[in-house]
Amino acid sequence: MPNVLDEMPLELLGGHEQLTAKVGPPLQLVDYWRWAGSVLMENTLWGVLAEFLVAVALGLWASRRASERVGKSRSRSAS
């Protein structure tokens, strides 16, 4: 059976995308990013930050995270 997520186009988001919620003020994706990832000194974000810095050094920062691409290829090979 085909994976529906594999058929979705992958694109980098800019943060201006609207989040749809039934409660609260209108939100954009950047509001979530600020809330979830603003404290870079938390241990849970160190790995992602390190991955970003390596991607910048290699000139790959404008593409999606490697772990997202790896996960996608694994889901294809598992089917």
Lowest-pLDDT choice from 3-12, 19-28, 51-60: 3-12
pLDDT over 90 at 6, yes or no: no
Report field, pTM of the whole predicted structure over 0.85: no
Residue 62: DSSP 8-state: T
Rounded to the nearest 5 degrees, what angle is found at the Cα of 75, between the Cα atoms of 70 and 77? Answer: 95
Q: What pLDDT shows up at residue 79?
A: 45
Q: Which residues is 18 bridged to in the sheet?
A: 28
Q: Where are the domains of the chain?
A: 15-78
pLDDT over 50 at 17, yes or no: yes
Q: Which tokens sit at 75?
A: 């889901």
Alpha-carbon gap, residue 63 to 69, rounded angstroms? 10
Q: What is the pLDDT of residues 30-79, one digit of tens each?
A: 999 899 888 888 888 888 888 889 988 998 888 777 655 554 444 444 44
